[in-house]
Structure 1
Amino acid sequence: MRGSPVLLSQFKSSGIARVSGHKPFLRRSFPSCPACRHISASARRSRSAPQPADDPNFMSIVDNPATLVRTGRKHGPGLIILALIPITAFALGTWQVQRLDWKSKLMAKFEDRLVRDPLPLPPHVDPAAIKDFDYRRIYATGHFRHDQEMLIGPRMHEDTNGYLVVTPLEREGEGTTVLVNRGWIPKKLKLQKDRPDGLPQGEVTVEGLLREPWKKNRFTPDNKPETKEFFFPDVNQMASLTGSQAVWIEETMEPDLLKSWDREARGIPIGRPAEVNLRNNHTQYIFTWYALAAATSVMLWMVVKKPPADLTRRVRQNKDWS
């Protein structure tokens, strides 16, 4: 049945037509927009232009993929320093073990000398032989030369400032004088006129320890013998100043609190006890160094075994793509 003119016109306007009894079809129409026509023309030209994949030597990202790496090094110089700390601490701890053994043997040797009976001091003493008699108990008889007295200070005794009194002991015979460290006096009794009881006259017998010359601390100022200011016992300097032998004797006394108070009040020097007073802190040094070595070893293990953080992982671009 033929369609009416109105329907036919609608079919034509919508792009649907009948062709010799076939079913209607949709006619393809090109866009009327200028921009769309330009894009279609560009697409047709790009299909006709040569593509990189047409080159047989072309290499794509599939053929040469990127590499998953960590940006920066996993461990830097800090790890080397951290590894050196436990090694150094362990070596120092081992060295302190050796020092403890040496110090213990030295103190045992000195204590063995202390328990022996005192020896009379020879008229002339070889300074080179004093090392073999260090801490040996001796006694010597003579007269104190108070006019050549020297004060070493400041020196503390039970939180009180004062001085060490060093007086030459003149014995019979020429060149037999020796230096005697008589002990400590308070600062307020520095002048001899204020302590007459501390200036014995006549012949006296001194019992004490034969000691090696002291070694100066690098923080101690130099002595000023011209003004009689002495900050440390320089035995050779004091010996040349007084014309005595370079022999240092430390006078000893029995520890007695009441006797010490009486001496301090009267200005009589307080002598040292007959005991070894060497410092021996090597045990605590050993504990300190070995504890530091153990702690830093644990820290090193934790740093090495720590898994890398995901935020530090990056994709490195491959620069060899063609």
Structure 2
Amino acid sequence: MAKFEDRLIRDPLPLPTIINPDAIQDFDYRRVVVRGGKWRHDLEMLIGPRMREGKNGFLVVTPLEREDGKGGRTRVLVCRGWIGKEFAPTKKRERFVGALPEGEVVVEGLLREAWRRNMFTPVNKPESGEWYFPDVAEMARHSGSQEVWVEETMKPDLIEAFDREEKGIPIGRPAEVNLRNNHAQYIFTW
């Protein structure tokens, strides 16, 4: 826990253009900044259902495309945050400024290791756009991205979260460590 919290207080690292997925475990929960990228909303993936404060919705994963410095382009997967289920269709978000930003962006977030699916989570169906679990390798193949998962962060602000929720603008996660602690659950089970 202390190792991860130490990574949070450091200045964000610029995310390299090409990332070795095997090195990500050494940077899990490390704050990173991605500059000069453009969102690929046409490749957006919604993971859900996901609950937030008793409301049903989705996590929005949008590939961020940027130049690789060699005349080509690379993409990384960015979990931009949570939106309510009523905003799942992109058309419902188009009218709100900030929901589908265009042009170059700067993203601050946490570099994270790939998630692990539990046995109760349904299998993803990429061909029909049904994502139940953030399988980084599968999502990377589907979107032509590197196997890199960045969770966009924002400062916790209740007013801003309400404003974002009403407009279908993804609500990013706070920059904090969230490790599951199942000890109490195990005590009651056994």
Same fold (TM over 0.5): yes
CA positional deviation for 1:240: 0.7
Give CA-to-partner distance per residue, 1:199-239, whole Å, 9 cap, x none. 00000000000000000010011000000100000110111
CA positional deviation for 1:175: 4.7
Question: Which residue is equivalent to 2:102?
Answer: 201
RMSD (Å) for aligned C-alpha atoms: 1.5
Q: Is 2:156 aligned against 1:156? A: no
1:229 paired residue among 123, 130, 134: 130
CA positional deviation for 1:280: 2.4
Distance in 1 (alpha carbons) for counterparts of 2:89 and 2:163: 18
1:213 paired residue among 84, 93, 114: 114
CA positional deviation for 1:285: 6.9
2:29 alignment partner AA: Y
1:116 alignment partner AA: R
Distance in 2 (alpha carbons) for counterparts of 1:158 and 1:172: 38
Distance in 2 (alpha carbons) for counterparts of 1:145 and 1:273: 23
Q: Is 2:172 aligned against 1:271? A: yes
Alignment of 1:72-83 (within 5 A): none
Q: Is 2:63 aligned against 1:165? A: no
Alignment of 1:129-140 (within 5 A): 129-140=23-34
1:143 paired residue among 18, 38, 43: 38
Q: Is 2:142 aligned against 1:244? A: no
TM-score by length of 1: 0.55
Q: Is 2:92 aligned against 1:191? A: no
SS state at 2:74 partner: coil
- More helix, by proportion: 1
Bigger Rg, structure 1 or 2: 1
| Residue 210 to residue 230, structure 1, CA distance change in 2 (3 Å) | same
Distance in 2 (alpha carbons) for counterparts of 1:227 and 1:281: 34
**Contact 1:175/1:245 (8 A) holds in 2:** no
Distance in 2 (alpha carbons) for counterparts of 1:226 and 1:248: 21
2:117 alignment partner AA: K
Q: Is 2:12 aligned against 1:118? A: yes
SS state at 1:177 partner: strand
Distance in 1 (alpha carbons) for counterparts of 2:145 and 2:182: 36
1:151 alignment partner AA: L
1:133 alignment partner AA: F
| Residue 285 to residue 218, structure 1, CA distance change in 2 (3 Å) | closer
Counting matched residue pairs gives 182
**Contact 1:143/1:171 (8 A) holds in 2:** yes
**Percentage of pairs with the same residue:** 65
Distance in 2 (alpha carbons) for counterparts of 1:153 and 1:285: 24
Give CA-to-partner distance per residue, 1:123-168, whole Å, 9 cap, x none. 1000000000000000102000000000000000000000000000
Identify unmatched segments of 5+ residues in structure 1: 1-106, 293-322
Give CA-to-partner distance per residue, 1:186-208, whole Å, 9 cap, x none. 00111111112310000000000
Q: Which runs of 4+ in 1 moved over 6 A?
A: none
- More strand, by proportion: 2
Question: Which residue is equivalent to 1:312?
Answer: none
Question: Which residue is equivalent to 1:41?
Answer: none
| Residue 124 to residue 193, structure 1, CA distance change in 2 (3 Å) | same
TM-score by length of 2: 0.92
